[in-house]
Amino acid sequence: MKWMNSSGSLMILLCCLINPLLYGQSGGQEATNSSQPNIIFILVDDMGWGDLGVFWQNLRKTNNDHSEPWQSTPALDALAAKGAMLTSHYCSAPVCAPSRASLLLGVSQGHANVRDNQFDKALQDTYTLGSVMQGAGYHTAAIGKWGLQGKGEGPDWPAHPLNRGFDYYLGYIRHRDGHEHYPKEGIYRDKKEVWENRTDISPGLDKCLTTDLWTASAKRYITQRVQDVDDSQPFFLYLAYDVPHAVLELPTQKYPDGGGLKGGLQWTGRSGQMINTASGEPDSYIYPEYRNRTWDDDKNPNTAEVPWPETYQRYATACRRIDEGIGDLMQLLQDLDIDDNTLVVFSSDNGPSKESYLPKGYVPNEPTFFNSFGPFDGIKRDLWEGGVRVPTIACWPARIPAGQVFNEPSAMYDWLPTITDAAGLLAPVRTDGVSLLPLLSGTGEYPDRTIYIEYFNNQKTPDYDEFDPAHRSRLRSQMQKIRIGDFAGVRYNIQSADDDFEIYNVVTDQQETTNLAGQPAFRSMQAMMKEKVLQMRMPDEEAKRPYDSTLVAGVIPRQLRQGLQKSFYKGKFPWLAEPQGLTSNQETITKDLVAGSAKGVYVLEGFIRVPEDGRYTFSFRADGPFLIRLHEAQLLDGSYKHQASEEERSEVALQAGFHPIRIYYLQETGGQPMLKFKWKGPGMEEKEISAEYFFH
């Protein structure tokens, strides 16, 4: 429908059998399949749900109310018409670093190692969008903004994109560099460094607006992969623009005529004129339809309209420049005859910003001018819908029917399992997301979803007239959001785990104006939300929360028997994979923590009985990759670059009772597996967890 209507033993999981055409050669790096699509993931910076024409701006244009200005995104509108709109898609956090980290890692903010405002923190060394695509036989590239490199100076950052699954990189490594869009001139925010792999190329980037630079670089990369290198190897491109995030800088000139292979933006490769728009005056060109636009600033039709403030001419120009770049890229795919089997995803890292970084004399940049937050309340750094619901489009003509609109809730951390699925593989078990392909292609059922977000910010929601009075000037501080079905629970300024959620039906009440939490019918939902948000996350020492030490509630299962259910999935896997949806080769009940010698994924699943309330330290050691979930929390993760000598440990506060547990294990050698699961708790020294504590 369209939006306008508007765990002694554990269960070990063995990875599923991989299509030998996709993963039949050494390491899987050379194994490809002609049916694998090329994949381009385009992420923009601070573009609101309401900034796109087809999502919101076109409605404003149709209304023709000159007190409500509008902008246009024709190329993105065309992309949406050719593919599908996801109107209830959530970023993982309402600010760039944690949002992008969750996207790249495929996990929610309850499990990501980058949370809150940890800009430039090293992205965890584990599976990423890049590394899983490498494992699927793809050549991988990241172009544009990174900001997750870790401490130190270039080029040897620990989490450089080349160290996190990408074969090629060109862009801004540092977070703050992305706040100036002319790297050599440094017009407003000083000069910046653009890196190509491990080389700083900024000395040769005269007059290069980064929006144009990233687009031209992306076109060069795609063309080289198809024409000059090996068009039989699919590519994955992560194209991360640093706009319309401030500073609101302008291009040097109009967009070059044409588009695609011969027209539009082109990479010349000449120092001093690296791209074909590196001439003229930097920060000078405003699109004519915006420079000459007027609006009814006082909502009085009897008074003369006034010109748009230049701040908003600049904002609209930044959005339009992205739009033209994406149109140029889409034309290139057609010219290269790869558009039909290329999956293109467009999204934004968070809601719209009120930043401009322009000097005095310019009016402030307020997202109210275009209602960039759409029909919602909230902006960047808010957990109201406007801060976390982001405009998202997916286009893959070979698989996704055109012209679809999906209202089903989805999250940014769904894209890792989605693109892995598109490549023909199962996703690593550590992902918190699900593949969106069954939904987008209409080929399978889409599960009921629970979306989880947590974030801290010491500012307030803006006092905009457009926002509900109860939201205006609301102190943010510690915040959580959980969406279950049509309902969203929101908590601001959290003092403890006992704080009530405000509950809204965000399908019928998109602005979140009617809090249902006080109604008797929602008491059970309130209790469920309070329990669920503790069961979906693990605490992080560098992002402490007031609910970190709260006891996680158990469940009240039906009739139980001792032992765990053991499922085995035979096959050779590139990693410990999530086999959900596969048919197991063997199903047994085991009272001991044992797997088997046959190669594949084992899953031990059931409940662990916690004897009393308190803090428990768990440890696990195995001779192969493993992961343990307690409820939906990643209790212990040894799934990546696992060494048999390594022991994973973690601590969690648990209520006495039964807690769901799943143990996943990848048998790679065919030998007798070694699994050691221990715990330590109240009045209990560390010991192996015995069979008496496991049930199914």
Tell me whether residue 552 is in a domain.
no
What angle, rounded to 10 degrees, do the helices at 210-223 and 310-335 form?
Answer: 0
The percentage of residues in the chain with a pLDDT greater than 90, rounded to a whole number, is 90
Rg of the chain over CA atoms, in angstroms? 25
**pLDDT score recorded for residue 452:** 99
* pLDDT range class, residue 23, cuts 50, 70, 90: very low
Q: Are 486 and 505 in contact (CB under 8 A)?
A: yes
Residue 683 and residue 617 share a domain: yes
* Mean local confidence (pLDDT), 233-253: 98
pTM above 0.85, yes or no: yes
Task: Identify the domain boundary among 395, 425, 447.
Answer: 447
Which of 145, 162, 141 has its CA nearest to residue 219?
Answer: 141
According to the model, what pLDDT value does residue 644 have?
76
| Residue-averaged pLDDT of the chain | 94
Find out whether 389 and 511 touch, Cβ atoms under 8 Å: no
Q: Are residues 270 and 376 in the same domain?
A: yes
Q: End of a domain among 447, 475, 495?
A: 447
Query: Over the stretch 136-169, which tens digit does the pLDDT of each residue have?
Result: 999 999 999 999 999 998 899 999 999 999 999 9
CB atoms within 10 A of CB 687: 10
Q: With H, G, I as helix, E, B as strand and everything else as coil, classify residue 392.
A: strand
In a domain, 325, yes or no: yes
Cα 680 from Cα 300, distance rounded (Å): 71
- Give the count of beta carbons closer than 10 Å to the beta carbon of residue 191: 15
* Matching residue, tokens 């322009």: 358
pLDDT beyond 60 at 335: yes
- Helices vs strands, H then E, count in the chain: 12, 32
Domain-ending residue, one of 413, 447, 481: 447
Give the pLDDT of residue 294: 98
- DSSP line for 492-555: -S--STTSPPEEEETTT-TT--S--TTSGGGHHHHHHHHHHHHHT----TTS--TTTTSPBP-B
594 confidence band (pLDDT: 50, 70, 90): confident
Given this model, what pLDDT does residue 2 score? 30
* 619 in the same domain as 482: no
pLDDT tens digits along 58-103? 999 999 999 999 999 999 999 999 999 999 999 999 999 999 999 9
170-182 residue pLDDT tens: 999 999 999 999 9
pLDDT at 29 over 60: no
What are the CA-CA distances from residue 582 to residues 221, 351, 463, 575, 586 (Å)? 36, 37, 51, 16, 12
User: Residue 642 above 90 pLDDT?
Assistant: no
Does residue 28 register a pLDDT over 80?
no
Residues 106 and 213 in one domain: yes
State phi, psi for 533 to the nearest 5 degrees: -65, -20
The reported pLDDT for the residue numbered 33 is 55
CATH number at residue 109: 3.40.720.10
Q: In this model, does residue 5 exceed pLDDT 80?
A: no
Task: Please give the C-alpha separations between residue 391 and each of 68, 441, 459, in angstroms, as whole numbers.
Answer: 20, 19, 24
Phi, psi of 324 (to 5 degrees): -65, -40
pLDDT digits 0-9 by tens, 263-284: 999 999 999 999 999 999 999 9
Task: Name the residue with higher pLDDT: 576 or 16.
Answer: 576
Lowest mean pLDDT across 21-35, 444-458, 555-569: 21-35
Q: Do residues 560 and 661 lie in contact, with contact meaning Cβ atoms separated by under 8 Å?
A: no
The pLDDT-based confidence of 22 (bands split at 50, 70, 90) is very low
Distance of CA 593 to the CA centre of its chain: 35
**551 within some domain:** no
| 186 Cβ contact list (under 8 Å, min separation 6) | 180, 192
**Is the confidence at residue 124, as pLDDT, over 50?**
yes
CA angle 103, 104, 105 (to 5 degrees): 95
> Are residue 480 and residue 414 in the same domain, yes or no?
no
Amino acid at 565: Q
Helix (H) or strand (E) holding 220: helix 210-223
Give a yes or no: residue 500 inside a domain. Answer: yes
Say which range, 15-29, 48-62, 583-597, 676-690, has the weakest mean pLDDT.
15-29
Q: Are residues 127 and 188 in the same domain?
A: yes
Q: Exposed, middle or buried: residue 548 (CB in 10 Å: 0-12, 13-18, 19+)? A: middle
pLDDT number for residue 34 = 61
What's the CATH number where 669 sits?
3.90.182.10
Our CA angle for 426, 427, 430, nearest 5°, is 140
Q: Indicate if 38 and 121 belong to the same structural domain.
A: yes
Whether 559 is covered by a domain: the verdict is no
**Counted domains in the chain:** 3
Does residue 258 sit in the same domain as residue 130? Answer: yes
Domain that holds residue 611: 564-695
> Do 388 and 480 have their domain in common?
no
Q: Confirm whether 678 is domain-assigned.
A: yes
Q: Round to whole Å and give the CA distance between 250 and 243.
A: 11
- And the tokens for 653? 């506060």
423 and 493 in a single domain? The answer is no
Shared domain for 366 and 266, answered yes or no, is: yes
With respect to residue 558, please indicate whether it lies within any of the assigned structural domains. no
Distance CA 201, CA 187 (A): 18
Residue pair 417/132 in contact (Cβ under 8 Å)? The answer is: no
For 370-385, the pLDDT digits (tens) are 999 999 999 999 999 9
Residues 6+ apart with CB under 8 A from 363: 309, 310, 311, 312
- For residue 219, pLDDT over 70 is answered with yes
Domain membership of residue 226 (yes or no) is yes
User: pLDDT (tens digit, 9 = 90+) per residue, 629-638?
Assistant: 999 999 999 9
Q: Are residues 198 and 220 in the same domain?
A: yes
Q: Name the token pair of 321.
A: 């420049």
CATH number at residue 521: 3.30.1120
Q: Is residue 12's pLDDT more than 80?
A: no
Q: Stretch 538-564: mean pLDDT, rounded?
A: 96
- Whether residue 469 contacts residue 461, with contact meaning beta carbons closer than 8 Å, is answered with no
